[in-house]
Structure 1
Amino acid sequence: MSLNYSDVFPADRTAAVNVALEKTFGNAVISEVILLTGGLSAASVYKIIADNRPYVMKLDIPHAYTAADPFEKVTRAAAAGIAPPLRYKSVKAGIIISDFIENKPIRSIYSGSVLAVKLAEAVKKIHAVPYAVPGADLKETIDHMLAGFRRNHILSGPIPDECLKRYEKVKMLYPWQDTDKVFSHNDLNPSNILCDGEDVWIIDWDTAFVNDRFLDLAGVANFFIHSPEQEAVFLKTYFGEVNDYKISRFYVMCQISRIIYAMMMLQLAAQAKPADYAHDQHMEGVHLKDVGSLLGSGTLSLATYEGQFMYGKALMNEAVQQMRTTRFEDALLSLDSR
């Protein structure tokens, strides 16, 4: 007997869900439906057990059929073997069903050079997906985020001032108009990188579009690549041949990526700030490795104001520390001389 899930899904989506489940699973027994995410996002994600096998159903905003299929990105990524296999898609209903990946944190399976190789191969798979729809201009997007940061007055003082000043130099020298663009995920944080014990899978393709290839490389590296040896293997696996320009551009983008994530975290914190609460302006001693450990242990959560605010501070501090280095100055010179 199938599970009665009429109270699990929103009432206005139940009919479409029934169609999706019937077309995907036929007479299979649906024994469990669990809401995985929800809240502020327009999409809700459910784990479904059908005939003792797990799947994922995502309920997004229903769309009319147009040339700009909002599920086209995940469809192409699944066909390329980098997103979990797709079982059902309806743009009109805003429903997609795919295999559920029993995630084993990738750092618990791979480490060192092997981890670097696996991640670089995953990024290469993403960037090989045939897709041609561009997104927002990266430089303009960052300018918009920084303008919002200034308006919010969430942080002030020497570190934020230095970060913004150094970024202005980066903005002048980085090759934003390079036409060598690829299909980019744009948000390769650890929660979007799954591992089943062998293969790497990427989820949450909502923000994917054609973009600068170095953005994905930097995003992955900032979370997972923590030694010169790993970095060398990571870049060689991705590029094959590596030169000073590629290394320099990668390193500069690593700091741009940290600034982007810092702005995102601080924006979330600004929205979540308790009423009449003054943001703590103290920046000294808020290090990424320490905050990262607190997040990893569960002591601090990115679902909270405190977690978002502390992580934003730590990311900004790390970006500033890296932008003070000789390596960073040399990297900018390399970009400038190109």
Structure 2
Amino acid sequence: METILTVIPADKSAAVKTALLQAFQTEEPESIEILSGGLSTALVYKIGIRGKHYLLRLVMEVNAMNDPKRQFTCLRLAASAEIAPKVYYTSVTDGISITDFIYTQPQTDKTNLLHELATTAKKIHELPLFPSFMNFLEGIDLFIVGFKASGLFSATATAELFALYHKIRTTYHWQEVDLVSSHNDLNPNNILFDGAKSWIIDWEAAFLNDRYVDLAIIAQSYARKPEQQHLLLKTYFDAEPTDYQKARFFLMQQVCLLYYGLMMFRLVTDHVVTDTDLSAPSPEDFYALLAGGQVSLNNAEGQLQYGKVLFNQLLINLRSQKFEEALELLS
């Protein structure tokens, strides 16, 4: 049988026992199981105490992005609104949180799911303001510098993409009215449906940000078709979206494609040599491979391929007439 001493890193075991003692008046769970999935460096465990399961999360790398104080502040605010699972314990010093464990079920009604996600995004954005961290676009600027310095691709392979992206950078301006509490990573790994409602987990990337970031990330997984994107925006704004709102949404979609592409490439920098070929499957084909298990985002090969898929889709979008029209609306 697994115990804290056998599965928890030695430098965290005492702190975990303290957490369990304060939350549940016991130092040892009845069961403990490490969970996998996602790209976070945190260690996540399913623990059983008195016949109920909870989620134990350990922040293993503390830095500006992985800041337990900001993360747990956002988590507690979201939990108080029943957006995130109930919180039983947090320690900024030790980087530990304990929340309810969510037993997931498939959500088969995609229209209802999209309605719920739009409503959930709005609820997140109406929470008391999260701590500030960075201007999202300035953060991406730093990622671009790092990407170019890595030498992963030749400069010519991405020259057109970055030249076109620069048009967004000079046109899309931060507006106070759009700065809201944001999760910033509303992908399927972080949205858990329990059969009655969806719960949002993993708040390590949460901070004050542009409202269109969450909407664009939702659309990346759940609203790829124009009619789905219209429904997402109409539900979120509780009205027909204006041309200006649609333009900001479209441009932020491109920003987020770039962001996730850069994130994928950061993960593989140490595993591959300079690559001059950005060719990749279509998004539809790639997602089919992912769903079928032929590709995994848990290894460098899948991460590299996904980064290429995102960059290719981004370049197609940046070459479109819709892109020029969106820039014109915001200029």
Q: TM-score, normalised by structure 2?
A: 0.90
> Percent of pairs identical after alignment?
39
State the partner residue of 1:203. 201
Give the superposed CA RMSD: 2.6
Structure 1: give runs of 5+ residues left out of the alignment: none
For 1:46, the aligned partner's letter is Y
Number of residue equivalences: 326
The one-letter amino acid paired with 2:308 is K
Aligned to 1:57: 56
Which of 145, 148, 156 does residue 147 from structure 1 map onto? Answer: 145
Q: Deviations over 1:266-304 (max 9, x none)?
A: 11111333xxxx344322353222222222222111111
Structure 2 SS opposite 1:314: helix
After superposition, the Cα gap between the structure-2 partners of 1:289 and 1:55, relative to the gap in structure 1 and judged at 3 Å, is same
Give per-residue Cα distances to partners, 1:66-89, cap 9 Å, x unaligned.
x95651111111111111111122
- For residues 16-63 of structure 1, the C-alpha deviation after alignment (integer angstroms, 9 at most, x for no partner) is 222222232236983310111499955311100122221101122599
1:72 counterpart residue number: 73
State how far apart, in whole Å, the 2-side matches of 1:87 and 1:286 are. 44
1:193 is matched with which residue: 191, 194, 209? 191
Q: What one-letter code is carried by the residue in structure 1 that aligns with 2:192?
A: L
Task: In structure 2, give the amino acid aligned to 1:261.
Answer: Y
289, 293, 296: which one pairs with 2:288? 293
Alignment of 1:129-278 (within 5 A): 129-156=127-154, 160-241=158-239, 242-273=241-272, 278=273
Counterpart in the other structure of 1:324: 319
CA distance in 2, matches of 1:186, 1:132: 12
Residue 152 of structure 1, CA deviation: 1.4
Which of the numbers 276, 298, 307 marks the counterpart of 1:303?
A: 298
Matching residue of 1:125 = 123
Alpha-carbon distance in 1 for matches of 2:328, 2:270: 38
Question: In the superposition, relative to structure 1, how do residues 229 and 32 fare at CA in structure 2: closer, same or farther (>3 Å)?
Answer: same
Which residue does the alignment assign to 2:65? none
Do the aligned residues in 1 keep the contact of 2:23 with 2:89 (CA within 8 Å)? yes
Q: CA deviation at 1:4?
A: 4.2
- Residue 104 of structure 1 and its aligned partner are, at CA, apart by 2.6
**Whole-angstrom distance in 1 between the partners of 2:261 and 2:72:** 28
Report the Cα distance in structure 1 between the residues aligned to 2:169 and 2:310, rounded to whole angstroms. Answer: 18
Instruction: Tell me, in whole angstroms, the C-alpha distance in 2 between the residues paired with 1:9 and 1:161.
Output: 46
Gaps of 5+ in 2: 63-67
- The one-letter code sitting in structure 2 at the alignment partner of 1:190 is P
Contact 1:116 1:231 in 2 (8 A): no
- TM-score, normalization by structure 1: 0.88
Conservation of the 8 A alpha-carbon contact between 2:41 and 2:61? no
After superposition, the Cα gap between the structure-2 partners of 1:79 and 1:326, relative to the gap in structure 1 and judged at 3 Å, is same
Contact in 1 for aligned 2:212/2:248 (Cα 8 Å): yes
Would the aligned equivalents of 2:148 and 2:155 in 1 still touch at CA under 8 Å? no
Distance 2:227 2:92 in 1: 44
